[in-house]
Chain A
């Protein structure tokens, strides 16, 4: 070993202080708290759609939000894991969950084919609000995940960006979705999926710059 390295090792050793090792649970709790705060905010400012709990919701409401919750959970788990360097991929679950969620917009478009005015059915002012509010509801989870990644040592920045966007988008959309009384396949399959796609792209573009170490 050369002298420069010996001196560096001596310096690092002298600088050593005890640290609390990373725990997966801490990252999950942080994200869970962010998601619950988001839900509380949605309940406070928008009000949850109570009709869903009285049997007024179509099955699409529960299927869509259930799938998004799974996607959000799988992506969150992947991001939390990514904060600790490791060799080998543990990101299969978000891929499959994304594929499953991808069926929803496909079903939405197929359901439009027999209609007279498919464009008019898709485009309505309320739907834009759904998209924008879902994106706004994604912010807190995104911040929590970025803070977690910054505390850690992620080694796959692009993947971390995609997954952070997916997790934040999916959990934010679920939180907002519980306040949305529009429960048709067309509305849910398009306007509650679009925010997730946008969040994923934004995550891919922005997050890698924030987590570089």
Chain B
């Protein structure tokens, strides 16, 4: 690699999607809400990143700010987001708008409220297609029917004229996906795409997202609180807590050898259908912190069973997200030895 190359990469971002130190802060009457407080990750085409966290961890705000959909004027946003070499944070709202829907698209949790109740499904897909493509309504309509067919909606030529309320929950989410994919985007962000759906329908939608990703070779970010869903889809997983990433790694690493006590907590809290039933779940004590009043030092320290091992560092220093080998990153003061010991003796046997 020549030096020219590296300069080029710094300016244009190293990966297809390159997020660097993204911060989204909201000033409120009660204080500054640091919804996202320094997030960095990279994502290539054809890969899926799962962002996992509880409510208030900043996972949804991250995705909305990549899309430029955060509340304008209110949010203070800093850092860099490169999409295929174009920096988005410093771009004008109109430049970002032209990318939205065309190069990056999004699907939401509740497909009923996410679709306009007064327009037919077809009209909404046609609208999405025609913003970015100069075609006639007839051509766009044909395209909409094709898209509906592609996401597995039966009789697409008839259903195209139906209204969202005439669709079932699963069909609506399929239609949302059809709308999001109508301009063949390179990046698809799915924010809790199956949380509002029944389990059998959830399985269908997850299959659909996986198949379409292969077909379109797009980068996918899936945001969810359900570790089962990310295990189904994600190549890499980022675990978020109180606006920051606390662990990042491949899906295998996160599930087989998680490093952060919060990740252990999440795994321990979940009853597992695929393992022997445990007598008791191992919850994380306490409640997630308020984003106005994030604990000093490691935000997780009041809830962490191992914080006392760090000689006070947990309460004073914020741990950085550091590589512990092969791209697996963790933000924790525990020494690798302590972590390995805790995982092998305390946690793993109880899962």
Asked if A and B are interacting partners, one says no
Mark A residues whose CB is within 8 Å of B: none
